[in-house]
Amino acid sequence: MSENITYESIAKCDSEIYQLIQSEVERQKSVLNMIPSENYVSKAILEATGSLLTNKYAEGYPRKRYYQGMANVDEIETIAIERAKKLFGAEHANVQPYSGSPANAAIYYALLKPGDKIMGMRLDMGGHLTHGHTVNFSAKFYKSYPYVVDKETGMLNMDEIRKLAIKEKPKLIISGYTAYPRTIPFKEFHEIALEVGAYSMADISHIAGLIVGGAHPSPLPFTDVVMTTTHKTLRGPRGALILCKKEDRLANVEGLDEKQAKREKNLALKIDRAVFPGLQGGPHQHVIAAKAIAFSEAMKPEFKEYAHQIVKNAKVLAETLMDNGIKLVTGGTDNHLILIDLTPIEIGIGKQVAVALENAGIVTNMNTIPYDPSTPFKPSGLRIGTPVLTTRGMKEEEMKIIGEWISQIINDYENEELQKKIKQEVKELCEKFKFY
């Protein structure tokens, strides 16, 4: 797939920004982008995010707004909602969240009271800041009881997670991660939530594209609330989406009259009201239009192929790395990402290796590994993924080549000559798999 994009108007009005955008276009074309949370969107999505829908204020929801001139954006938002529900098999969808963190904030605001207990995975184990990390609002307004992965295997230990849930009785149990390379047992998480009287929530930001493409089990329809960003494997614009059940199975209606009880039981309404007016103002209608396009792209048969190819590519890449003696957290992958444990080479060298790889045209990110003997600023891991390479059309054959390059750099990360040589080879490979 190859897409031509030009920015003639920006060139005419602001040469400084134009030059930087052009450099970024060149960078994205000429490197192997292996950051697992990034992707390259279609030209249709770029056009929608650059459209004049950005000019419109639209506080409220379709047919319940505070402004006139809503005919087109009401239609667009309604289409986006209906497509999201169909794509994921959800009872209710809110397409307004600006991004993942605000979406998670809205979910907590809808379901919890300040001081309620939440349980998500610890950040340094592969969780997310908004799942209860100490420096984040999620642990300031709520009491966080994080779970960890098993020290031996690097995998989720559902017995331990269940024990913690029974002990702490959280109001919300969160599954979904940013650096976990294995299948997530969403059903088991929901069953634990049922057992302890908690809401179940799945943050599927990383794997939403795999889920709708049939390459990872879905947390729907049973999970109470599901959140995803739209710009990762789902390959839409930068933004987020909340999906939920219509009914709040934990609603406390004691002492309420019929009308109040009906409202209290309405989970969809609680989520919508938490997003707006609870947290956000005017929704970004240009992004909502782009989300609608992304949902439609994700319903096409070729999206299924893409989702399965992401996983096939990651598995071949993981095998190639391990054949070269590279250690992987959990010993492999089931999804789009691989977490490399660099401690056998040296503790705390994630950053140096990420820089060495970037010098060779391979863009990744440093990451903590579970039970990292170093610090988050000097972690011992490297996170890599296959979504962008798959979007560009690369397959198993290319993964073997790339796996060899990454292994060589890791094993000799101070060798600048090697970096230069591989950079040239990377450029040649990228030329064969043009996207923009």
* Per-residue burial over 314-348, b = 16 or more CB atoms within 10 Å of its CB, e = otherwise: bbbbbbbbbeeebbbbbeebbbbbbbbbbbebeeb
Residue 124 C-beta: closest distance to ligand DSN, Å = 14
Q: Which of 232, 265, 270, 273 is catalytic?
A: 232
Burial (CB < 10 A; 0-12, 13-18, 19+), residue 15, is: exposed
The runs of H, that is alpha helices, within 169-283 are 186-196, 208-212, 258-264, 267-273
Rank residues 133 and 171 by Cβ distance to ligand DSN and give the closer one.
133
Taking Cα atoms as reference points, which of 123, 218, 136, 265 lies closest to residue 180? 123
Kind and range of the H or E run holding 341: strand 337-341
Rank residues 61 and 108 by Cβ distance to ligand DSN and give the closer one.
108
Rank residues 206 and 273 by Cβ distance to ligand DSN and give the closer one.
206
Please count the CA atoms within 13 angstroms of the CA of 140 that sit on its side-chain side: 6
* Residue 229 a catalytic site member: yes
Residue 379 C-beta: closest distance to ligand DSN, Å = 14
Phi, psi for residue 226 in degrees, rounded to 5: -125, 135
Check binding of 403 to ligand DSN (CB under 6 A): no
Q: Which of 7, 38, 47, 57 is catalytic?
A: 57
Site string for ligand DSN, 143-182 (x = CB under 6 A): -----------------------------------x----
The residues in 22-81 that bind ligand DSN, with binding defined as CB under 6 A, are: 37
CB-closest chain residue to ligand DSN = 37
Residue 176 C-beta: closest distance to ligand DSN, Å = 10
- Specify the DSSP class assigned to residue 131: G
Residue 197 C-beta: closest distance to ligand DSN, Å = 29
Q: Which of 38, 47, 59, 396 is catalytic?
A: 59
Rank residues 180 and 295 by Cβ distance to ligand DSN and give the closer one.
180
* Residue 330 a catalytic site member: no
Count CB atoms within 10 A of the CB of residue 350. Answer: 28
The residues in 178-237 that bind ligand DSN, with binding defined as CB under 6 A, are: 178
Distance CA 244, CA 347 (A): 42
* Residue 153 a catalytic site member: no
* Residue 272 a catalytic site member: no
Rank residues 73 and 310 by Cβ distance to ligand DSN and give the closer one.
310
Q: Which of 85, 238, 327, 423 is catalytic?
A: 238
Rank residues 37 and 374 by Cβ distance to ligand DSN and give the closer one.
37
3-state secondary structure of 284: coil
* Residue 57 a catalytic site member: yes
Residue 392 CB partners (closer than 8 Å, separation 6+): 1, 40, 430, 433, 434, 435
Q: Which of 77, 203, 248, 372 is catalytic?
A: 203
3-state secondary structure of 99: coil
Among 45, 81, 87, 100, binds ligand DSN (CB under 6 A): 100
* Residue 327 a catalytic site member: no
Distance CA 162, CA 147 (A): 10
Q: Which residue bears the tokens 């009872």?
A: 91
Give me the active site residues, please: 57, 59, 203, 229, 232, 238
Which residues are near ligand DSN by CB under 6 A?
Answer: 37, 100, 128, 178
